[in-house]
Structure 1
Amino acid sequence: MPRAGLSPDAVVDAALEILDARGSDGLTLKAIADATGVAAPSLYKHVRGLPELRRLLAIRIINEMADQMGSVVMGRAGNDALEAYLTEYRRLASQYPHRHALTERASYDDPTFAAAAERLVNVAYAVVRGFGLEGEDLVHAVRSVRAAVTGFVSLEQGLGYRAPTDTDASFAYLSRVLAAGLRPSPTPSTA
């Protein structure tokens, strides 16, 4: 009989707290069992094991990111939306570095995971569409924005920026460069 009050969502809640405090290496069924007050085998009544729990964590984190990032770009367009998107991505990755690391490595052949990932990517598409891009240019631009911000954050978290230059100034520069690069190229005129 499952413990009263314990559910898959409650197990994910406990796992999120452990992930935030201890990182991915500290995310064990024993740690989660201790946090929820059950024996480790009892967790199998709620999740099928650590791989499923990691999948559920990734889905929860990505959905929360989509909600948060969507709310900060809502009602904005162009440079303003891009700056809000980049800034919120960086803030979330800095505030929750272990969540960021887990989601950047996550890849599951699962419709629920795919739907969560699509929601998050659609925020980037909404931002980039504000620059008037369409078709393949839109896809290339979204990939470029995501690669740039993910790369910046990864280098920043990994202490890849050792020069004394202010990283906030570098991040603002990145935002300006991306905004300038997202402007559609003029169509060559035919004479």
Structure 2
Amino acid sequence: MPRAGLNRERVVDIALELGRSGSPASLGAVARVAGVKTPSLYKHVASASELSSLVAERALTQFADALTLAVGDAQRTEAARRFLHAYRSFAISDPHLFSLIPLQPGNDPRLRPIAQRLMRSMATALGFTGPTAPGALHALRFLRSCADGFVRLELAGGFGEPIDVNESWDRLVEATSKSTLLYPA
């Protein structure tokens, strides 16, 4: 019989909070926080892999929601700017949560619909009919690479020179958002 107050949602909540604090979100760590023995968690999740996928699903959903909300109904250059700023803001404001999002979310069947929703939204905002339209995937990769590369370097302390990182970011946003590589011909 499941422990009172412990269910699948609560197990994922605990794992997510552990991950957000920078602690490992292992089954053992979740069990310790929940005050149960590790085998008790198997009533709620099938495996450590499933728990990891559920945590990634929550993180990716929050990320996709933040990006989609930020872009709103903006189009083309403004949509790209908003996407880039929201991407960096999300990662910088909660780097541990950002780190829970896999680099290839499309490889996980649970995450694929979320990643596809975000891709459709951004492709449309950039002026494509969808992510499979000619040139769309290249544009989306370009935009994501610019944001993700900068953010991961920044989070890892890769910009050690005494020059304002925000100014570098602003230059990247301007150059990227105006790039002809982003928009359909």
* TM-score, normalised with respect to structure 2: 0.87
Cα displacement string for residues 23-60 of structure 1 (whole angstroms, at most 9, x for unaligned residues): 4xx22212111222222111111012211111111111
Shift of residue 185 of structure 1? 8.0
Deviation at 1:134, TM superposition (A): 8.5
Higher-Rg member (1/2): 1
Deviations 1:64-109 (A, max 9, x none): 2111211111122232222211111111111222222231345575
Aligned length: 182
Residue 27 of structure 2 is aligned with which of 26, 29, 43? 29
Mapped partners of 1:113, 1:174: distance in 2? 29
Which residue of structure 1 aligns with residue 9 of structure 2? 9
Relative to its length, the structure with more helix (as a share) is 1
Could you report, residue by residue, the CA deviation over 1:135-184 in whole angstroms, capped at 9, with x for unpaired residues? 33222111100011000001101111112111111111111111221365
What amino acid sits opposite 2:21 in the alignment? A
Which of the residues 58, 70, 73 maps onto 1:72?
70
In structure 2, distance between residues paired with 1:83 and 1:111: 30
Aligned to 2:97: 99
How has the CA–CA distance of structure 1 residues 110 and 149 changed in structure 2, closer, same or farther, with 3 Å as cutoff? closer
| Residues 42 and 77 of structure 1: CA distance in aligned 2, closer, same or farther (over 3 Å) | same
C-alpha spacing 1:8/1:70, structure 2 compared with 1 (3 Å): same
Per the alignment, do residues 105 and 123 of structure 1 end up closer, same or farther by CA in structure 2, a change over 3 Å counting? Answer: same
Distance 1:155 1:109, change over 3 A: closer
For structure 2, which runs of at least 5 residues remain unmatched after alignment?
none
Preserved contact between residue 135 and residue 184 of structure 2 (Cα < 8 Å): no
CA contact (8 A) 1:124 1:142 kept: yes
* Superposed CA offset, 1:112-141 (max 9, x none): 2211221232333233227xx993322211
Large movers: runs of 4+ above 6 Å: none
d(CA) in 2 for partners of 1:101, 1:66 = 14
Question: What is the root-mean-square deviation of aligned Cα atoms in Å?
Answer: 2.3
